Amino acid sequence: MSEVNTVLEGRTILLGVTGSIAAFKAADITSRLTEAGAKVCPVMTAGACSFIQPLTLQTLSRQPVVSDIWSEGQGWQPGHIELADRADLLLVAPATAHCIAQFANGLAPDLLTSIHLATTAPVMIAPAMNGKMLAHPATQANIATLRDRGYHFIEPDRGMLACGYEGEGKLASVDRIVETVVHFFRE
């Protein structure tokens, strides 16, 4: 068994996927973390479901995908609380400006943001958005707020963005995201 598999074996990673064009990369993130021994539980926003089908992440993770707070599990405990309690890490990749703002302001209008408020697990965020949105003072203030709370950020890459602009805001490479998660658990 490789060191990566040893580090991630038995870890429960909630993978939050938000409504970014980069949502398709969640499939590779899910696959790579699962292959490395982690139990990946995908949590998709409605916007993410517009970009990638939940069945893709369900098949790659071998776990049910949750996306709707109003259709939670069958047990007595609300599903978002049960998931929040099981998490060793909440990884949000890609994370939109909207999601980051909701996290920073303690809003919980959907399943992902409700899990965020209920978990005591560390939170790791990989932003993906237009460079102007990323540079906006409100977004930067929200990121600073989350950093002050101890959240971990995987900085976005520079490059051609889906909007046609060149600049910062592109989701970090899948390799860098996976390496950052492995490094986090190694420490």
Which residues form the catalytic set?
163
On whether the CB atoms of residues 92 and 126 are closer than 8 A, the answer is yes
Distances (CA, A) of 9 to 36, 93, 173, 185: 7, 20, 22, 10
User: HSE (CB half, 13 Å, CA atoms) of 126?
Assistant: 29
